[in-house]
Amino acid sequence: MTKYTQKFKLDLIQEYLDTGCSQRCLENKYSLPKDTLKKWWTVYNLKGPERLNLRHFKRKFTVDFKLRVINYYLNNDVSMSKVAASHNLLCSQISIWLKLFMEGGSEALKPKKKGRPSKMSKMTKKDARKILKKESDEIAALKSELRQVKMERDILKKSLILFGPPKAKEKTIIVDQIRVDQQNLPKRKDMGLVSF
């Protein structure tokens, strides 16, 4: 669709006023779509020449505004084109709002989220750091536990190799000796060390 400048629209309206030519005649002369000059003329009469400017941004309308426009249209004996011109809207927009309102009430006029819903919840950097810290602490604890279990396993293997199935007291002495050798495990206090 062709965008027309404010100057062109005002010149056309002025020609309409000066020549006395019909709106349809001027639309044919300038190859305009049907009822274009009629819409411009209505906007010019209701809101003045500044409303004939092009809009270069997408407007967002609140539910309250949509309800006021629908209420105005339904309660007053005014055509949809005049309501559209008075509120600086398109007739099609009012028609869409009216249809949505008739089908679903004011809830249907609320804006809907566009696009596909995200599959993952959005987390902040702070949340990500907390999770990473928690997981790294957990990994460190598991590594420490694994190291402890491996040393205890080695202790049991060495004692079986050296002495065969030991008695409880001998087993404790051997374990304490290996702990001293490893220097990572605490020494038991109830038994003394035996030298070989």
Residues 6+ apart with CB under 8 A from 43: 51, 52, 85, 88
- Asked if 75 contacts 24 with a C-beta cutoff of 8 angstroms, the reply is no
Q: How many CB atoms lie within 10 A of CB 50?
A: 8
Note the pLDDT tens digit of each residue in 99-141. 998 888 888 888 888 788 777 667 677 777 888 889 999 999 9
At residue 93, the 3 state secondary structure works out as helix
Note the pLDDT tens digit of each residue in 135-194. 999 999 999 999 999 998 888 888 777 766 656 776 777 777 777 777 655 555 554 444
Say what the pTM is: 0.43
Q: Is the pLDDT assigned to residue 9 strictly greater than 80?
A: yes
- Asked if 73 contacts 63 with a C-beta cutoff of 8 angstroms, the reply is no
What is the length of the chain? 196
